[in-house]
Amino acid sequence: MKEFMIENTPVKMWASVCDVKAWREISNLCSLPFLFHHLALMPDVHGGVGMPIGAVLATKGVVIPNAVGVDIGCGMCAVKSSLRVEDLPQETLRKVIMRNIRKRIPVGMEHHKTTQDEALMPQDFDIEQTTVVKRQYVAATKQIGTLGGGNHFIELQRDEEGFVWIMLHSGSRNLGKQVCDYYDKLARQLNERWFSSVNPEMELSFLPVKSPEFHQYWAEMQYCVAFALANRSLMMQRIMEILQDAYPDITFEPMINIAHNYAAWENHFGENVIVHRKGATRARVGEVGIIPGSQGTCSYIVEGLGEENSFLSCSHGAGRLMSRTEAQNTIDLQAEIAFLDAQNIVHGIRTRSDLDEAPSAYKNIDEVLAQESDLVKILTKLHPIAVIKG
């Protein structure tokens, strides 16, 4: 961890590489009058919108929709199976397992053509008291159990003992984006009305705890977190069913789940504050989490060490090394395909447009883990064997 000051605000940083856009956003965050104690930056930090991805911000008395982001509740889940990789031939993997996953789980902008069972949706929420969720609910019933785009993925992996794992990364789909956009716009309007000192160009408009708008956002954010988990759970269930169809005797261990885009009330340094994690994973003492690499590198199951200086957090992945445009314009397509093929990874990189999710577009996951050795310890190392990208 490196410590320094920006705008008289302490910054604690675990990263060794940080892009120019992220530095600008870090400076903006440090100018906020309601920032609490210090700003924490994980080793995967890189530029976002308003707040960098891989940052942890604690505030006194306000929530910032853009410090949670548009994919509210986005996270990872992983399941270990009893299937050994030696019993999963390439032919079965490609033509049965991966083909059926693609048939049952829409990716990118696609969604189900029919509404899914409402029992799969989050329960115990009063939808009638919401604004955005109520309006988007029917559409969300077609989005549950879908992957989305960008860096979302489904991976089959093997651990060091040869067992097959399922890992996936997804969030609240369009529902979370609609909630974030609605309340960010509302916060901008209110901040202007209040003559707020926070420059709107920083994209960090806020909602005070005592305002009705805060409570409205908070309720809808919590629904999105629950929806994102329901979305991942449904996809995981369907992938497990596909494996069971091919291997009837297969068994599965309980699912590991962790979110990395949300805000929560927590107690740190003796005070109750709102912790915003945007592309950061909670890592309390003994808490099991997931830190994925890229589609050509290892991922890790980890256990939190409860480091207070990180607000009990760690990275949510390797983190981008270059922007999507830069990756598409500079990475050698054939070299990237050769790298993945040499490892016998079933992947989807075919054209230059796929290079935004190439392994070379990401930081080195092993270096990232080394930089946060005081935040987490490694439990399990996982190697990719097949990948579906959003």
Please compute, for residue 178, the number of CA atoms within 13 A of its CA located in the half-sphere on the CB side: 17
Amino acid at 106: P
* Ramachandran angles phi, psi of 307, nearest 5°: -75, 115
Assign residue 10 a region: left if phi > 0, alpha if psi is -120 to 50, beta otherwise? beta
C-alpha 105/C-alpha 132 separation (Å) is: 25
* Ramachandran angles phi, psi of 121, nearest 5°: -75, 160
**b/e string for 372-386 if b means 16 or more Cβ within 10 A?**
beebbeeebebbbbb
Q: How far apart are the first and last CA of the chain?
A: 33
Which has the closest alpha carbon to 83: 216, 239, 307? 239
**Does 111 qualify as catalytic in the annotation?**
no
Contact yes or no for 316/260 (Cβ under 8 A): yes
C-alpha 194/C-alpha 281 separation (Å) is: 33
DSSP3 helix / strand / coil % (the chain, rounded to 5): 35, 30, 35
C-alpha 21/C-alpha 86 separation (Å) is: 45
Residue 210 burial (CB count, 10 A): 9
Which is catalytic among the residues 38, 152, 316, 347? Answer: 316
Q: Which long-range contacts (CB under 8 A, 24 or more apart) does 345-351 make?
A: 345/295, 345/296, 345/384, 345/385, 345/386, 345/387, 346/90, 346/93, 346/94, 346/98, 346/385, 346/386, 346/387, 347/295, 347/296, 347/386, 347/387, 347/389, 348/387, 348/388, 348/389
Which has the closest alpha carbon to 372: 314, 317, 320, 319? 314
Give the catalytic positions in this structure. 316
